Chain A
Amino acid sequence: VGSGTRDGGRWTLLTGHGHVLVEIARDPAARIRDISAACRLTERTVQAIVADLEAAGYITRTRAGRRTRYALDPGRPFRHPAQAGHVVGPFLALLAGDSGRAASPAPAPREHEAGHAPHRVVLQRPAGKP
C-alpha cells in the first residue's frame, strides 16, 4: 500500500484509488481517459482501480448508451483500521468541491431503477480467506 509517493517522488495524501474515487465523485460520467488525465495515471491503471472500487462496493457502473455512469456509495467505510468508523461520503464531498453536490446525494434513484439491486455487499471477504 502506498508509500505516499507518486509523480516522481513527490508525496501525496491520496493514493491512486483515492484520486480516482474523487474524480468519479466530481463527474459521475467521466471517461476513463478523463480520469486518467486528471489523476495522472495510465488508462490501464485507472481501469484496474475502477474495477477494484466496483468490486469493493464503492461505486456501481451503469451503461448509458456508449457511456458509463458511476454511482457512488457515500456510506461505505474507509478501509484502513486507522480510519475505522469513517465513511467516504463527507471526504469525497469536500474533495470533489461544489459543496458536495456530486458526492453526497448520489444513491437515491438507483435502488429501484434498472432492476439491479446494487449488491449491497455484506462486506465481502476475499474468496478462500477464513
Chain B
Amino acid sequence: VFLEYGSFAGVERWSFLTNHARVLLCIARDPGVRLREIAASVGITERSAYGIVTELAAAGYVVKHKDGRRSRYQVQAHLPLPEPGSGEPAIGEVLAVLIGDSTRQQARGRSAPPR
C-alpha cells in the first residue's frame, strides 16, 4: 500500500515529520507503548527509539514513570512546539490532529468519534 505514495521499499526519500515527531505520536497514542513497538512503527532501531525518548524527556515533552518493569509516558501536551519561530500551537493540538482525523484508522474498529 505504501508503495503507492512514491516510496521505494517503504522508505521515503523525504517526509514532513521527523522521527522525534513519530516517536512522540506513538507515545501519545499509547502511553504504555514499548520501545520495541515504537521502533517497529517508526522504522528505527530500539536504540534510536531509546535515544529519542530520552531527548523528548530531557526537553520536558515526555515524563516517564516506572510501572513495574514497564515504562509509562505522559506527554506534556500544553508545551509549545520545539520549532523555531513563535505563534505556533501547543504540541497537544498538533498530536491530536495527527492521531484523530485518520480516515481509515486501522485496528480500532468503530470506536467513538474523537472529539
What B residues does A13 contact at CB under 8 A?
A: 17-18, 20-21, 24, 81-83, 91, 94
For window 96-115 of chain A, which residues contact chain B by CB distance below 8 Å? 97
State the CA gap A21–B14 with chains docked (Å).
13
Of the 9-residue stretches A28-36, A59-67, A118-126, which lies at the interface with chain B? A118-126
By beta carbon, the residue of chain B nearest A57 is B6
What residues of chain A lie closer than 8 Å to B22, measured between beta carbons?
80, 82-83
Checking B13, B18, B25, B26 against A11 with a beta-carbon cut-off of 8 angstroms, the contacting residue is B18
A18 to chain B, nearest CB (A): 4
Across-interface contacts of B88 in A (CB, < 8 A): 95, 97
Question: Which of chain A's residues have a CB closer than 8 A to the CB of B68?
Answer: none
B26-45 contact mask (Cβ, 8 Å, vs A): 1 or 0: 10000000000000011100
Chain A residues with CB under 8 Å of B81's CB are 13
| Contact yes or no, B18 A84, CB < 8 A | no
- Asked whether, in the complex, the Cβ of A97 is within 8 Å of the Cβ of B19, the reply is no
State A86–B37 Cα separation when bound (angstroms). 20
Residue of A nearest to B103 (CB): A85
- Render A21-50 as a binary contact track against B, CB cut-off 8 A, 1 for contact: 100000000000000001010000000010
Cβ contact of A14, chosen from B17, B52, B97, cutoff 8 A = B17
Kindly provide the distance from the CB of B84 to the nearest chain A CB, expressed in whole angstroms.
Answer: 6
Report B-chain residues with C-beta under 8 Å of the C-beta of A49: 14
Q: Is the CB of B87 within 8 A of A4?
A: no
A97–B69 Cα distance when bound, in Å, is 41
- Do A12 and B18 touch across chains, with their CB atoms under 8 A apart? yes
Q: Which residues of A contact B21 (CB under 8 A)?
A: 4, 13-14
A10 to B81, CA, bound (A): 12
Q: Kindly state whether residue A1 has any CB partner on chain B within 8 Å.
A: yes
Nearest-neighbor residue (CB-CB) of A76 within chain B: B5
A97 — which chain B residues lie within 8 A by C-beta?
87-89
Chain A residues within 8 Å of B25, by CB: 82-83
Contacts of A79 in B (CB 8 A): 5-7, 12, 14-16
Nearest Cβ in chain A — how far from B20, in angstroms?
4
